[in-house]
Amino acid sequence: MNPNREKEILQKVEEIIAEGPYRPDWGSLAEMEMPRWFSKEKLGIFIHWGLYSVPANSNEWYSRNMYIKGMPAYEHHRKTYGAQKDFGYKDFIPLFSAENFEPAEWMNLFSEAGAGYVFPVAEHHDGFQMYKSELSDWNAADMGPKRDILGELKAEAEKQGIRFCTSSHRAEHWFFMGHGKEFDSDIKEPLKKGDFYWPAMPEPEPEDLYSEPYPSEEFLQDWLARTAEIILNYQPKLLYFDWWIQHEAFKPYLKKLAAFYYNCGEKWGEPVAICYKHDAMMFGSGIVEVERGGFAEAKPYAWQTDTAVARNSWCYTDSLDYKSSNEIICTLIDVVSKNGNLLLNIGPKADGTIPEGDKKILQDLAAWMKVNGEAIKGAKVWRKSAEGPTRTKEGQFSDQMEQRYTSADFRFTVKHGNIYAIALSCPKDGQFHVKSLAESKNQNVPEFHGIIKSVTILGYEGEIRWHTDGEGLHVVTDGMEAEFPVVLKVEVE
C-alpha cells in the first residue's frame, strides 16, 4: 500500500477532466457516444468470483450475512468454521488459493458460447480487490492466490478477441460489514482507512436515496480513487456499477468519475460507457441496466440485462438452483429482439474451476450459437419484436420463475437482408405459423408488405415447404423436432 498513491490518482483525475472534452455534469456527459461494438456483440459474460466462493454457501452476500444473527449464513459459519470472533471473513483469504485458475480455458468457453465481451467483478461488496492495487493491501495480488486475477483475465480476453470490461461494487462496502459490530466478532472499532472491514457503518434502508449517515468524504474519495485506479491500470471498455451509487452522496463523485472515464476513452481513441441501474445516472449518459429482468417491448436505445445461470446466487454455492439451458437461450433471444444485450453471469469455484452446471449451460449455448448465431450477433430489431400469447414480464428480478413459451411465440431480428423469425418453442408437428409475415392487402398500415424470396431453417437439413397468405407465413417440415428455439431465416427480395 502506497500512502501517497490516492492523492496522486485523484490529481490525475482532475488533470484528465480538465483536458476535456467531458465535464462532470449531466449535460456534458449526455454527449457520450455509445461504443459501436456494444450493440453488435449482444452477449457478455459476468463473473462473480472472490472470497465468497470459499464458503460457497448461501450467495455472494455471505460476508454480510455471516454477521447477522438468524441468517442461515450466520448459523452455517458458526457450525462450519467456529465463532466469528475466532474465524472472521478475513480468514477466508488464505483459503482462496485459485490453484486451478486457467484464464485461457475460461475464455475458450466464453468465446465458443458467442460472448464478445467479459465482465469480471474487480471488487465486490466485501472489499477484497481481485487485482493489484497500491491503495490497499487487501487484494488478490498480495494475498490469497497472489495473482493479479483481473490482469490475467484482461490479457487472455484480448488475446482471444474478447473485449475486457469490469465492475466495481465498492460503494456498498460503506455499510456491508456493519452488522459485525453488533456482537462479539472480529469486526470492531477502532477501524481506520486501510483496514479490510472499514468503515462498517450501519446498514441503510434498501433503495433509500437519502439514507443516513451519509458516506463520509474520506470514503467517497477512496471510492473515486479505487475506481480510477482500475481505469488507469486496466483500461476497461465498459464499467458496471451496482445499485448504491444512486445515493445522493455519490452524485458529485459519480459525475467526476464518469467525466474522467469518458475522457480516458477519448485519449485511448475509442468510446467507453458506464452501465448503471435505476436512475443513478442521467438517461443518455450511460447504458441502462436491468438486473435479472427486461422489457415487454423493444426500446429505441441500447440496454443490457444482467442475469445469472442460477436463480439464488451470483457466485458458486453448494445449493445452486440452476436455470435450464433453454431458458437462458430464450432470454438471450428475447433481449436481443428488444434492442438489448445479455450479460450472463457464471460463478467459478474457489479453486478456479468452472462448475459443471455453469459449463453445461455455456456448452449448450455454444452449440446453439454455432448454428443460429447469425440471428443474434450483429442483428438489429425489426418492426415488431415479438408475436404470440406469452408476454415478457417487465422489470427487475422477474427471472425467479421460468417463462414458459408456446409454439406460437416468436421473436424477430434482422440482418443482411433477412428477417429472422425465432420460434421460442418448436411445434410438435413441425409446422410453423408466423402471423406477422402475412400478406397485407393494405400498404398504408404498419404491417409487412414485401416480397419473400426464400425461407430456410438454420441447421435443418430436411425438406421444408412454405407459403404465405392473409393469415401469415406457413412453414411445414417433415416432423422436425428441436430441444431449443428454432430460427426461420426469411430472405426478402
- For each of the chain's 493 residues, which pLDDT tens digit applies? 888 999 999 999 999 999 999 999 999 999 999 999 999 999 999 999 999 999 999 999 999 999 999 999 999 999 999 999 999 999 999 999 999 999 999 999 999 999 999 999 999 999 999 999 999 999 999 999 999 999 999 999 999 999 999 999 999 999 999 999 999 999 999 999 999 999 999 999 888 999 999 999 999 999 999 999 999 999 999 999 998 999 999 999 999 999 999 999 999 999 999 999 999 999 999 999 999 999 999 999 999 999 999 999 999 999 999 999 999 999 999 999 999 999 999 999 999 999 999 999 999 999 999 999 999 999 999 999 999 999 888 889 888 889 999 999 999 999 999 999 999 999 999 999 999 999 988 888 889 999 999 999 999 999 999 999 999 999 999 989 999 999 999 999 9
Architecture of domain 5-375 in this structure: Alpha-Beta Barrel (3.20)
CA atoms within 13 A on the CB side of 160: 22
Q: Cβ distance 31 to 22 under 8 Å?
A: yes
Specify the DSSP class assigned to residue 34: P
Cell triple for 94: 488464505
CB atoms within 10 A of CB 435: 15
Cell triple for 200: 462498517
The Cα 440–Cα 450 span in angstroms is: 9
H or E stretch covering 363: helix 356-372
Q: Cβ distance 68 to 74 under 8 Å?
A: yes
CA–CA distance from 228 to each of 77, 215, 412 (Å)?
35, 18, 40
According to CATH, what is the number of the domain 386-492? Answer: 2.60.40.1180
3-state DSSP assignment of residue 90: helix
User: What stretch(es) of the chain map to CATH 2.60.40.1180?
Assistant: 386-492
Rg of the chain taking only CA atoms, in angstroms: 24
pLDDT for res 280 = 97
Q: Cβ distance 17 to 255 under 8 Å?
A: no
Q: Cβ distance 2 to 194 under 8 Å?
A: no
Q: Cβ distance 239 to 252 under 8 Å?
A: no
* DSSP of 158-196: HHTTPEE-EEE-GGGHHHHTGGGGGSSSS--S---TTSS
User: What stretch(es) of the chain map to CATH 3.20.20.80?
Assistant: 5-375
Instruction: Spell out the residues 6+ positions from residue 109 whose beta carbon is closer than 8 angstroms to its own.
Output: 354, 359, 362, 363, 366
pLDDT for res 358 = 98
